[in-house]
Structure 1
Amino acid sequence: MKRQQILDLYQWSPGVCFRHQHKGEVPTAVIKVIHPRGRERELRACEECVIAIEDARREMAARNGEPYEPGHVDGAAR
């Protein structure tokens, strides 16, 4: 699957990437919801990070002999 096809699997909105705060507000996708001290916060990732996470998921699935389906970085079914 090509890069843009993978990115199209996610909902994008302006936000700050958890790894690249220095970029400021850029298109981001929610990759996890955390609950520090009872508050709900979205952990967001930029396009570069979503692709890197998807690459790592694909490689792990291949090593474990498991199927890989892109679009599930957040663990939610699409």
Structure 2
Amino acid sequence: MDRQQILDLYQWSDGTCFRHPAEGAQPTIHLKTIRPTAGGLQDVRACQTCVLELEIQHAATAAAESAPYSPGHVVRDLDE
């Protein structure tokens, strides 16, 4: 799959990437909601660049473990 095909597997909405907050609002996916020790809830969102990097890491991990890999499951994998 090419870059755009992988990105098309996700639902995007404007938000702030947890790794690139200085970039401001940009297309992101919701990765997880966390409860900071200071209280409240905080959504963790990732931009397209970060999602592609996470996909590369998942593919490498799957290959190292001789496990199957298919893109589009970064969020599900984080919750497992």
Question: What is the TM-score when the length of structure 2 is the normalising length?
Answer: 0.85
Number of residue-to-residue matches in the alignment? 76
Supply the distance in 2 between the matched residues of 1:40 and 1:72 (Cα, whole angstroms): 23
Aligned to 1:29: 29
Question: For structure 1, which runs of at least 5 residues remain unmatched after alignment?
Answer: none
2:32 pairs with 1:39: no
Matched residues, percent identical?
Answer: 50
Aligned to 2:75: 74
Supply the distance in 2 between the matched residues of 1:51 and 1:4 (Cα, whole angstroms): 10
Question: For structure 2, which runs of at least 5 residues remain unmatched after alignment?
Answer: none
Supply the distance in 2 between the matched residues of 1:7 and 1:23 (Cα, whole angstroms): 19
Aligned to 1:4: 4
1:35 Cα shift? 2.6
Amino acid at match of 2:45: R
Aligned-residue RMSD, C-alpha: 1.4
Runs of 4+ in 1 over 3 A off after TM superposition: 37-40
